[in-house]
A and B are shown apart, each in its own frame.
Chain A
Amino acid sequence: MLGRSSLRDLAWAALLLVGLLVLPILVPHPAMRDFVIYVIAYGLLAMSLNLLVGFTGLVSFGHAAYFASGAYIFGLLMQSGNVSLPVAMLAAVGGTALLALVIGAICVRLKEIYFAFLTLAFQMFIHSIILTWVSLTGGDQGLMGGIPRPTFLGIDLNDSMTLYSFCAVVFVACLVIMRQIVQSPFGYTLRMIRDNPHRANFLGVNVVRMKLAIFVISGTMASVGGIVMALFVSGAYPEFGFWTTSGEAIFMIMLGGTQLFIGPLVGAILLQTLNHYVTIYTEHHGLVLGIVILIFVLGLRRGLADFVYLWFQDRRTRKLEKETGR
């Protein structure tokens, strides 16, 4: 039986889905749809990364590797023409899970800063494989020739509105899965590991196995983001697996904040908006982004969603104090 909180989560999810589906009717500009799909793809990347960073305290700097592997496996399978779209999606997710399992098995035993650097190193390894294995991946040109979108179950993704709705449904489904994981006993075990790994170990939790499990789960969720991206741009590019993509994902988390489940999504929206305007006005994208990051990290010292959340909490406690004082 579903608990009350699960029902509430499902209601929120339904609301979000309806909102996403109504949005292109309210704002009929195609650019809006494109923007939302970008937010969905990078939002999945950031939210899955937050399962590691925010909930388990594992700062991974190589998360884009799974984003890229999802995109490439999916793209290659679709180009081969032998499998249907849902099968290719499942295979891409499964393949990425396997990859995350191998990399995770080596990385999760390490202390935090080692972990950050090692995940980065493995990501660059995967990036260099993508670049050098030209016959399979097309090297730095990316997966060329487009990714076919054959009709399945009567769904034709070549129609841009159908594609948009499909991405929205996949996105909301992933959010529900991640929310369920975070709210499950497993999710609370992860929080305990984050706050005090020794105590967790003492209580009989197999810390390494838990970390590995969430590492794999988070990798698979990132791969769904990659699949959405590959489906949308009809290709896969080495930049998907470049370290800057991981860096941006980390910044999205910071921007949105780690306190709230939905925070990274806010970060994804903010960063996509920022990127959109920065690329219009200047070619020195890195310079602007770098300065914005410094302002947030050193000035605000936390993400926007955290900022607002803490402000509300602060107000609530003050109000409570007032009431009890009366």
Chain B
Amino acid sequence: MELEALAGCLSSMSCAVTQVSTGLIIGMLLFLVASGLSLIFGVLGVINFAHGSFYMIGAYFAFSAYQLTDSFTLAILSGALGVGIFGMAFERLFMSKVYGRDVLMQLLVCYAFILILDDMVKILYGAEYKLMGMPQTFALPPFQIAGGFIPSYYVFMIGISAVVGLVLWLGIAKTRFGKVVRAAAINPTMVGALGINTTLLYAFVFGVGSMLAGTAGALAAPIRTLTPGMGLSILIESFIVTVIGGMGSIVGAFIAALLIGLTRSFGSMGFPLFVDGMMFGIMALVLILKPSGLLGRPVH
């Protein structure tokens, strides 16, 4: 226990600022992954257990694109779009075959893909750690707020994630298309009867959800080490986020992701061995007090 360190950090403004910024980037990455998971579950009623692997291939796509073109913009785009297209293909070719069947079958399809994708990455990139490196654009002096330093990339990442999250929320809550998506989540048969191609809609939603995971992976590539199997821990954490925030709720995922992010960054100072326990504790508490999550509607 290093609770003194935590108390010391909280009382010094500069340290608190640094830790908050770390918490924010963890939270934002989690938010992107979790909102994709939540969106897919909310509309299609399946949990994409391979979502963490999508995050992983997003990171590797970005890594390759950056190596080839030296352009960070292209790296992020290829991570996001590449995984989005991959997700759509995955939905059409595999996932759609097990809709309405046992959860067991859905689980197995995802399990198979986690194994296959991990091994593919191992074959293509090798099993060792990879570093993408910070793009030149962000080789700037860090921002200084109240004596705390925040790397410029962190600011960019938080900004981009916030924009993506906002666009997603506006798209679902305010547009006509968003209305169709919400309707399909409640009554797909009726939506189909009204002349909307639900097959296409499902593939698209799955693609968007995957794209969010890919974007998170691409954004994480410069600041994380790339390794096969890197998707698993973020899968578990983003699931905790969706449980706390409520399945299908984007705003809930946002709040919960920040909560978990800050718990992680401050917890790793104060009680490094119990950070995981703390996250699970929060989740268990939410499940006991409000099983549908902070902002979730009851699962139908």
Say yes or no: A114 contacts B299, CB within 8 Å. Answer: yes
Scoring A residues 113 to 133 as 1 if CB is less than 8 Å from chain B, else 0, what string do you get? 110111011101100110011
Quick check: is A298 within 8 A (CB to CB) of the other chain?
A: yes
A222 to chain B, nearest CB (A): 17
Say yes or no: B47 contacts A297, CB within 8 Å. Answer: no
Given known contacts A286-B115, A297-B112, A113 and B240 CB-to-CB distance under 8 angstroms:
no
Inter-chain contacts of A44 with B (CB < 8 A): none
Residue of B nearest to A293 (CB): B112
A123 to chain B, nearest CB (A): 9
Quick check: is A289 within 8 A (CB to CB) of the other chain?
A: yes
Inter-chain contacts of A244 with B (CB < 8 A): 115
Say yes or no: A253 contacts B116, CB within 8 Å. Answer: no
Cα A254 to Cα B109 in complex, Å, equals 12
List A205-241 residues whose CB lies under 8 Å from chain B: none
Residue of A nearest to B285 (CB): A106
Cα A291 to Cα B115 in complex, Å, equals 9
Say yes or no: B112 contacts A112, CB within 8 Å. Answer: no
Scoring B residues 275 to 300 as 1 if CB is less than 8 Å from chain A, else 0, what string do you get? 01100100110011001000000010
Cα A224 to Cα B271 in complex, Å, equals 34
Chain B, interface residues (CB within 8 Å), range:
35 or more
Quick check: is B164 within 8 A (CB to CB) of the other chain?
A: no
Say yes or no: A59 contacts B119, CB within 8 Å. Answer: no
Count of chain A residues with a beta carbon within 8 Å of a chain B beta carbon = 42
Quick check: is A40 within 8 A (CB to CB) of the other chain?
A: no
Quick check: is B111 within 8 A (CB to CB) of the other chain?
A: yes
Quick check: is B140 within 8 A (CB to CB) of the other chain?
A: no
Cα A296 to Cα B116 in complex, Å, equals 15
Say yes or no: A110 contacts B280, CB within 8 Å. Answer: no
Given known contacts A106-B288, A113-B47, A114-B299, A286 and B118 CB-to-CB distance under 8 angstroms:
yes
Which of A117, A128, A250 is within 8 Å of B239, CB to CB?
A117
Which of B47, B104, B240 is within 8 Å of A53, CB to CB?
B104
A292 to chain B, nearest CB (A): 8
Inter-chain contacts of B283 with A (CB < 8 A): 121
Quick check: is B146 within 8 A (CB to CB) of the other chain?
A: no
Residue of B nearest to A247 (CB): B111
Say yes or no: A290 contacts B273, CB within 8 Å. Answer: no
Say yes or no: A109 contacts B291, CB within 8 Å. Answer: yes
Quick check: is A251 within 8 A (CB to CB) of the other chain?
A: yes
Cα A111 to Cα B239 in complex, Å, equals 15
Cα A128 to Cα B275 in complex, Å, equals 10
Residue of A nearest to B102 (CB): A59
Inter-chain contacts of A293 with B (CB < 8 A): 108-109, 111-112, 115
Say yes or no: A294 contacts B94, CB within 8 Å. Answer: yes
Say yes or no: B104 contacts A253, CB within 8 Å. Answer: yes
Cα A244 to Cα B104 in complex, Å, equals 15
List A89-121 residues whose CB lies under 8 Å from chain B: 106, 109-114, 116-118, 120-121
Inter-chain contacts of B105 with A (CB < 8 A): 254, 297
Given known contacts A114-B243, A121-B236, A297-B109, A128 and B276 CB-to-CB distance under 8 angstroms:
yes
Say yes or no: A116 contacts B103, CB within 8 Å. Answer: yes
Cα A244 to Cα B123 in complex, Å, equals 19
Quick check: is A74 within 8 A (CB to CB) of the other chain?
A: no
Which of A106, A132, A254 is within 8 Å of B273, CB to CB?
A132
A257 to chain B, nearest CB (A): 11
Quick check: is A284 within 8 A (CB to CB) of the other chain?
A: yes
Inter-chain contacts of A153 with B (CB < 8 A): none
Inter-chain contacts of A114 with B (CB < 8 A): 243, 247, 299
Scoring B residues 18 to 62 as 1 if CB is less than 8 Å from chain A, else 0, what string do you get? 000000000000000000000001000111010000000000000
Inter-chain contacts of B276 with A (CB < 8 A): 125, 128-129, 132
Inter-chain contacts of B7 with A (CB < 8 A): none
Say yes or no: A298 contacts B111, CB within 8 Å. Answer: no
B160 to chain A, nearest CB (A): 28
Say yes or no: A59 contacts B111, CB within 8 Å. Answer: no
Which of B46, B119, B239, B284 is within 8 Å of A287, CB to CB?
B119
Quick check: is A72 within 8 A (CB to CB) of the other chain?
A: no
Which of A111, A117, A286 is within 8 Å of B119, CB to CB?
A286
Residue of B nearest to A284 (CB): B119
A271 to chain B, nearest CB (A): 13
Given known contacts A121-B240, A243-B232, A61 and B107 CB-to-CB distance under 8 angstroms:
yes
Say yes or no: A290 contacts B123, CB within 8 Å. Answer: no
Kindly list 18 other residue pairs between chains A and B, CB separation below 8 angstroms, not including A125-B276, A129-B276, A296-B108.
Answer: A53-B104, A106-B284, A109-B291, A110-B291, A114-B243, A117-B243, A118-B243, A121-B236, A124-B232, A132-B276, A244-B115, A251-B108, A254-B104, A284-B122, A284-B123, A287-B116, A290-B112, A298-B98
Chain A to chain B contacts (Cβ below 8 Å), 9 pairs: A110-B287, A121-B236, A125-B276, A247-B115, A250-B111, A286-B118, A287-B116, A287-B119, A287-B123
